[in-house]
Amino acid sequence: MATYVVLMGAPGAGKGTQAKLLQEAIGLPQVSTGDLFRANLKNQTELGQLAQTYMDKGELVPDHVTVAMVQDRLSQPDCAKGAILDGFPRTTAQAEALDQLLANIDGEISIVPYIKVDEEVLVQRLINRGKIEGRADDNEQTIRTRMQVYQEETAPLLAYYRKRGLLVEINGEQSVEAVQQDLVQSIREAKA
């Protein structure tokens, strides 16, 4: 059966960095919803155009559009053995949709690593990233708003996956290499 990994963590926890490293280490493609949105918008796919109509109105793209993008991506040949999901699901409704989607393709989630980092450490990381990369959205006020949204919308997923016995906490305050080592070990143990 294919291995699907749902990588979780608050903004600034290092999900994107770790997902790229995991892709190399375990040989599964990283499926990032951010990348999917950018690709669908850039290529003006039917889903991208649909997403754009919501974004133009300043609205969040509905779950069914996001789920359709993920479903399309997971149907690609490089995802036949599974994938590392980065940035999806973000809500319990999306998690339930993902379960249904995977059941339809005879797949299931093997593990949900949660890169856990103290909120104040995250705020400082993102402020520093903003200074280095010149990102206007990495200022303290915006960061704290993003943390609040994360707590309200995404944190309930931790309980959802913990209840199913899939959640594994990873200390995200270690070095990038140590976090990667812990992630790879936990995924290999889940697959065994």
Residue from 42, 146, 162, 191 carrying the catalytic annotation: 146
Buried b / exposed e across 13-30, counting CB within 10 Å, b at 16+? bbbbebbebbbeebebbb
| Active-site residue flag, 38 | no
In what helix (H) or strand (E) does residue 109 lie, and over which residues does it extend?
A: strand 108-116
Residue from 131, 135, 144, 164 carrying the catalytic annotation: 135
| Active-site residue flag, 188 | no
CA–CA separation, 60 and 128 (whole Å): 28
| Active-site residue flag, 135 | yes
Residue from 129, 144, 164, 191 carrying the catalytic annotation: 129
CA–CA separation, 171 and 182 (whole Å): 8
CA–CA separation, 57 and 165 (whole Å): 39
| Active-site residue flag, 90 | yes
| Active-site residue flag, 129 | yes
Q: Which residues are catalytic?
A: 15, 90, 129, 135, 146
